Every structure is written in structure tokens, then in C-alpha cells.
Structure 1
């Protein structure tokens, strides 16, 4: 009885998903979106929604960890932190006096960097003296800092969820605001990207170093991810750690961060997306007034390195006092590829949700894993990327057992056609996921900004369902055979360290 009931529940969910998909008018929503481009090259994408007097504001910059200069891995992430430190008028009690101490910080740090560059010949006593001197100067600069004033102003005026994130492909700044505070947001957001003051930079480097220790050096999964990417990519910058190695974090200085900002935070490399209770034409007028002040500059060139085809399996093993993890990846094309909808459908069928092949076989039936999943688009989508499969072995079971079963299931999707029923379920889930993402102001703003910045066209999500609807079981079988090739695989194993 319970099994029959579960079947009816699944069927009901699918019916509701289809019903929602058909009732959601994608072309109508797309036609309501307005796109503008300022004289300096910055794009503004606005979607009015008058359901409530609020709006979501996204600033997305076409720069991420892939763009970190050599020897400065992690600087994109550092600048994201710095963007909240304020300007010459926000975050300080007296910028003129503060500036003298900031310059002195840079002078002393330059000496520290020169001494460290001597490697084994570095004078440790002098380094200690210089670091003590730097701390005193930082304390002197700190007396003029109004900590988190930028965020406090936002929150005082009703802003909610002020935050940012750095990925391999892009950096995103976001906030939800009362719609009648749109001009305040425009003024403050543009100001921090016109002439930011990178105050407390050397202090923030210590925060990021600790973040690195927590998310990578003290995180078995973080270490496994870094090792796997470094093996899967031998040339392309996707091989880098998102936060950067400790040596780079400790080495770059404020002039490095300013140079990075001036190169990448230019109008032609930025997109602003606004969704909510706003008038598009008014947003354009305000954008010209505030974001139009940002000087025009050439759009920076993307990384030109092309990863050579992988011709043999690569394997890495990380040992730690942690639960084992099996993780393998295969090379696939970038997110703009015509094959990506089929690859995403394949990942759904293989390893997303309780009814997926991996979950049914590894978790439910054989009970050799507590969790199993598959995904497409790791670690990014702007460049040729990876299809990933992961399994966490259950107690008294091993990575080897899970690897063997994963291999069987991969071969199964290469030889067996997906049933028509399973194909319809995959399409229903894809539709429901897309509609869910478009239903909230912030979700839609994020999608518009992401598709324009990373994938080159904000119109794409409104036509995703056409591509999903066109998929056939043969498409899934074809991409499985074309991309899930064992010689193109990189396998990462997290093994429990024995005492």
C-alpha cells in the first residue's frame, strides 16, 4: 500500500509540475525584461514585478578565480572582500589622515615582500621587526576606520541579505531592498566600484588565510577537490584553488589588488540586473546618473589557455582522518554547448534525487553508500568543464566497491535507452527547477545576470524548455558514450587515514 501511495504522490508531483510549466508564460516574462547599455558599456537588465514593494539588485562582474594573475591566485576573492570596506567618504572618519597610514602600510609590506623573496637567505629577525612595525601602522590606520559602515547604511535603509560570492567564472554582489530605495542602492553600489578604498587589506588577508585553512587545509573534501581539479586540468586555470594557495595569499599587496580592480572592474565587464517593483525607464535614468560615472575602459581578454585532450585516466588519493569519498570526473564542453541540456539530463537520471540510478543502486539496494550524486558543470560553465560523479561509502564499505558499481551504471546508460516514462520525469524536473528559479525576484535577477555574464545571453533561460522538450532517450545515450569515456576520467579518492 505504501509503495502504491508513493507512486501516486510522484505522479501527482509530475502532473503539478507539467501544469505549472504550461501555465508559466516564458515568452511573456521575456518580453517584459528590458535591456539597456550605458555609454561606458555597462549593461542594465530590468524586469518589473509589482507583486510587492521590493526589488532585488545584482551586480555581476565577468571575473573569477580563472582570471587571477600568475602568483596572485585568490586575488579575485580578496577583492570581493575589499568591495565592502567603503570609499573615501564611507567607512572612514578622515580619509586624508587615514591615507597617509595606508601608504605607510604599503611601504612596509613592500619591504617584507622583498625580504621574503630572498627565501632561505631571508633575515628572520628583520622580518619580525618589519611585521611588528606593520602591525603598529595598521593600528594607526584603524583608528580612522568606521567598521562595516557600508553594510550598516544598507541595513538602516531596509536592505536585506547584503552579500557577495566569488566563483571560477564570475563575482556576484547582491541585495534585496525596498523598491523606493533604488536610487540609494545605485549611488552606493556605483561609488564602491568607481574608487574603492582597500582599507584593512593586510588585516583581511589574515581572515582569508584562516578561511583557506578552514575550507581547504582542515577540510578533507576541500583538499580532495583541489587535488582532483589540479589533476583534471593541467593547463587551464580551472586547475586552481578558488581561494588560492597560502603562499599567494600571503604575498600579494594593495597595489596588486588595485591593479586587478582597474583591469577587470570596468563597465564592459559588468552587468547589473534588477527585478521587482521598479520602472525600467526610471532605473535606466538612475543608472546613467550613477553607474555612468564609471570611466569606460577596454574589456579584458579572457584566459586563452586551452586544455589538451586527456588521453589516459588520472588518479589522486588524499588521506585524512575522515569518511572515505569516491569522486570521478569526465571532460565535457562549456555551458553554451548544444549538448549541455542532454548532459544535465544525464546527470539527473544518473544521480539527482532518490529515484536516480546511483541512489537506487548504491544507497537503497546495495547499501554500499550513504549518498551518491552526479552533476554537470564543475567547477564552472564559461569554459570546457567537468561531469562529476560522487559517492560516500557507508560504514564497512569502500571506495573500491562504489567505484565498481558506478562503472556498471555508467556502462548501463551507454548501452540502454532511458524509458519514455523516465524521460518525461527528467523533463518535468528540469521544468520545475527552472520555473522555481525564475519565480523569485532574486532568483530571476541572478539568472539574468549569470546568463548574460557567463553564458553570453540573458535570453537563453527563456528558451531552455524548448531545448529540454527536444531531448530524446537517444540524446542521453549519445552524450553518455561521447563524454563518459574512461580514458578521459580523473578519479579522486579520499581514504581514511589509519593511526
Structure 2
């Protein structure tokens, strides 16, 4: 399986790039790697695994070329784990995780915690009162407004009081002082990740910081950060043509499964999130038994294990995380949605497909490569270069997640004066071709060759290897899941592609989202800008 990261580009289309490739593992972890890829013993023999009594999984690979280590902490929690009315919690907690702990980010936590508790109480009361008045359906009375203003003033005053104890950005500054680079985090549908690169002799600093963050996070500046997330939502979803299209498209494709909910959350849910709910979410999902730490670089595994046992080993395991019970029902008819925006048209087409571990998953990876990987791929050649129907075209075989059944999606931006309908028809023609014409062996071999070429480049990346070890340990339950991925991809036959194309690329299994450009003009009489 090859996992791609999807991103919305300024040009207005869904582009595809390979994440510090899984082929780092696919080939070099295989029992008999090609000599050109060898770097001493195979990585299958070099990955050292250790599991703590509290359930924390540690994966290590020694690489002594430079005195640095790349570290990836991945938690098996994302947007799929949120409840109705609390969407966006996983993403909000990712923000809050950088606010510090009982010892980092504060001048006096004993005093600060009292103010934070009162701020949480009054802030929650203010949120509730605002919702009640919004539902009222009539004008707010002067008395109601005065009471609301009083609560708002209390919140403002308490925020200022709590702010007196805050040491801003102290965690990042600590890492910076000790040579850390690349401090980052990300939240997706299936998981949340925290990364850092450090001089190898600073591992004790890392262990102290991260064990403290896992055990004792403090939700300081909560309402300020909630506002930041809300602004992020406006920027990336509400006011972005790509973001709004894919949010609408995805929610149409998934009627039941939480894959249909935006990871950043719905706006009304974000504004109702509370410190209490966020802390409960943390206690449920961010325990050591739901985490994997991957370290790659200049390390001594025995010393690393002893260090992690002394620090992370003290953290108690969380209770078992709730299982996601919802299964997306079979789609029984094409779904089409339109989003109006003052932007160039885009079309997104999605077909339901199996998730990680299903025998057909690798077949979709191959189809993904055939259709859009590189300038000589089929859709790039026909739509972009030859017929010039589209300015761009892309695909993704695992959208928006990998754990559960997901979507194979294709996206394109028409090249004026061509329309989304023309581009859509051209894409369907190529999908029909996959059903009726066997893919030549030479074309399939090119895909394997491309994977091998990517491997040569990716082997140099400690962070890429750490990323993939933690990723597959989390989503598949075992990093060894990828040991034979390259072989499975190489074993895909033309008949497999035809069978999968016929089974899944059907109208009844299809969701189509279209960004429709609408014009703005000046209403000269009223002097106001209007849309039509």
C-alpha cells in the first residue's frame, strides 16, 4: 500500500505528493532487497521494537551517519473518534498540546489552576447563554444583553488574570535552545502526530518534555486558541473554494461514517467546545497504550529503552478506547453536489472502496499511479497535454483516511473555455478504458520502477522512516504490514485492474462535487455588490 498526502494548492486543485515514502520500508524491509538499495543489514533486521507495561510501543532504527535523531509520536486518534456535537476536538487538542504542562509554560501553576478552573466555569456558562439566546427566536431584551455583557466581561477579566501566569511558547523555546528543529504536529481522520529532530545527546531533554506533555497537559489559553481554530476554519473551509468544495463533497459521500465530518470540525461545534470536554477527550485517547514512538538516527537502543522506561513508563495506561461501530451503508445511486463560489470551476469524483488490509487496496494504488502519477500518466497526457481540457488533474487512492473503507477520488480543474462536464466525461472514458483494455505489462513495470526510484531518494530520510514506522504501527497495528507491499503491488495483474474497475467504478457508487463559478456585478441603483 502506498499512502499519499493530499493538499489543497493555491492553484485550485487537489495535488498529490508521496509522503517520505512508504517504499522506504516496502523495499528495504523486504527479505531480499535489490543490491542497489542495500545499506548493510536489511531494515527488517534493524527495526527494534519494545513495548512498555503501560502499552506504549517504541520502534527504533540505528543510523550513525550524523549525530541526530528523528522522533515521531503517533496517537491512534483523529476526527473519526469524535462524538456528534463535539467535532473538531482532536484538532483543537493538537493546538492545546503546545500550551505546556504543570511545569512548562507557567510561572506559578498552583495559582494559575484556580483561575483556569473559574475561567472554564464562566466560559462554559457564557457559551450556554449565547446558545440559548440564539435559539430564542426573538430580540434580546436589554436585561438579557446586560447579563450577557457581564459574563463576557468576567471571561475577559479571567483571561487577563490567567495570562499573567503564562510563559508563551516555552515548549518550543526549550527545544530550540537544545538544537531541536522541525517541531510540528498534524491531525487527520485516523491519527495525530507530533514530530521533532534533535541532536542525539539531547534525548533526555526530549523524553522529559514529551512524557510531561503526555501525562500533565494544561489547557491554558483555551478560549484564545479556540478562536484561532475558528479563524483557521474560516480561512481553510468557509472562505476557500477548495476547502468548501471538498467539505461538501466528502459529507455527501459519507452519510453515516465519521469520515464525512471535516477534521477541523463544524463551526457551531467548535464554538461550543469546552475545556472539560477537551480534557475528557485527552484522557480517553492520548494514553501511552494508544501511542507509538518511532526513533531513527544516532541512538543506542538499550539506552533509549531505559530512558523511555524511566520517563514514559510512569504514565498509567488509559482505559480502552471506544470502538467505532458505524459502517457506511452501501451507496445505491449517484450523488451530486454543487458549491457556488467566485472562483474557477473544479470537479471532484469519488468512488467508495475498501480500506487498509483489503486485497483490492493495492490495486487502487496501481490505478492511482496509472491515471495521474507523472507527466506521462494517462489523465495527465490526455486531459492536460493533448486535449488541453484541464489545467490540472489528480487522484488519491485513500481519501480521506485509510483505516475504514474510503474513497478513490479524481479531481480536475477545467482549462477555459472547457467545462467541468467535458472534463468529467473524459475522465469517465479513461475509467471505462480500464474496464475494457488490459493495461500493458510495460506500463505496470513502469509503476514498480517509479517506486524503486523513489526508494533511492527516500532512504536518506530519518524522519521519513520514523514517520512510516509509526504510521503503520498505528493504522495497521503492526509496522510489518508493509513488509511485502512492494511485492503485492508488483503482483497486480491487468485482470485485477479490469475486475476492480468494473466492480467499483460504477455510476451508483459515485459521488460528484462541482465548484460552480458565479459572477459578481455592481447593482448601480442600490450601490451594493450582488451575486448572481
Q: 1:280 aligns with which of 288, 291, 301?
A: 301
SS in structure 2 at match of 1:459: helix
Over the aligned positions, Cα root-mean-square deviation in angstroms equals 1.6
- Structure 1 residue 432, shift from structure 2 partner: 3.1
- Structure 1 residue 307, shift from structure 2 partner: 0.4
Q: Where does residue 54 of structure 2 map in the other structure? A: 40
Q: Where does residue 379 of structure 1 map in the other structure? A: 400
Q: Where does residue 66 of structure 1 map in the other structure? A: 80
Encode CA deviations 1:184-217: one digit per residue, 9 max, x unaligned.
Answer: 1111111001011110011100100100000001
1:120 is the counterpart of 2:130: no
**Structural mapping, 1:2-151, within 5 Å:** 22-25=35-38, 28-118=42-132, 119-121=134-136, 123-151=144-172
1:192 is the counterpart of 2:213: yes
Distance (Å, rounded) in 2 between the aligned partners of 1:413 and 1:69: 40
**Structural mapping, 1:478-497, within 5 Å:** 478-497=499-518
For structure 1, which segment, 473-482 or 382-391, has the greater mean C-alpha deviation from structure 2 after superposition?
473-482
Whether contact under 8 Å (2:74, 2:292) holds in the other structure is yes
Q: Where does residue 222 of structure 1 map in the other structure? A: 243
Distance (Å, rounded) in 2 between the aligned partners of 1:319 and 1:138: 39
Q: Where does residue 364 of structure 1 map in the other structure? A: 385
Encode CA deviations 1:437-456: one digit per residue, 9 max, x unaligned.
Answer: 44310000000000000122
Q: Where does residue 420 of structure 1 map in the other structure? A: 441
Encode CA deviations 1:60-83: one digit per residue, 9 max, x unaligned.
Answer: 000001111221100100100111
1:257 is the counterpart of 2:272: no
Distance (Å, rounded) in 1 between the aligned partners of 2:35 and 2:364: 24
SS in structure 1 at match of 2:484: helix
Whether contact under 8 Å (2:69, 2:199) holds in the other structure is yes
- Structure 1 residue 391, shift from structure 2 partner: 0.7
**Structural mapping, 1:349-498, within 5 Å:** 349-434=370-455, 436-498=457-519
Count of residue correspondences? 482
- Structure 1 residue 312, shift from structure 2 partner: 0.4
- Structure 1 residue 174, shift from structure 2 partner: 0.2
SS in structure 2 at match of 1:452: helix
Whether contact under 8 Å (1:54, 1:178) holds in the other structure is yes
Q: Where does residue 335 of structure 1 map in the other structure? A: 356
Encode CA deviations 1:7-48: one digit per residue, 9 max, x unaligned.
Answer: xxxxxxxxxxx9995522497111100001001011000111
TM-score (norm: length of structure 1): 0.94
1:153 is the counterpart of 2:168: no
Distance (Å, rounded) in 2 between the aligned partners of 1:136 and 1:432: 59
The runs of at least 4 aligned residues of structure 1 exceeding 6 Å deviation read: none
- Structure 1 residue 302, shift from structure 2 partner: 2.8
Gaps of 5+ in 2: 1-26, 521-532
1:304 is the counterpart of 2:352: no
Distance (Å, rounded) in 2 between the aligned partners of 1:428 and 1:129: 67
Whether contact under 8 Å (1:266, 1:299) holds in the other structure is no
Distance (Å, rounded) in 1 between the aligned partners of 2:434 and 2:418: 24
- Structure 1 residue 117, shift from structure 2 partner: 3.8
Distance (Å, rounded) in 2 between the aligned partners of 1:319 and 1:274: 46
SS in structure 1 at match of 2:70: strand
- Structure 1 residue 359, shift from structure 2 partner: 0.8
Gaps of 5+ in 1: 1-17
Encode CA deviations 1:129-177: one digit per residue, 9 max, x unaligned.
Answer: 2122201110110011000000000010000010100000000000000
Whether contact under 8 Å (1:21, 1:432) holds in the other structure is no
Whether contact under 8 Å (1:351, 1:375) holds in the other structure is no
Distance (Å, rounded) in 1 between the aligned partners of 2:365 and 2:335: 24
Q: 1:210 aligns with which of 231, 241, 244?
A: 231
SS in structure 1 at match of 2:483: helix
Distance (Å, rounded) in 1 between the aligned partners of 2:110 and 2:399: 45
Distance (Å, rounded) in 1 between the aligned partners of 2:491 and 2:453: 16
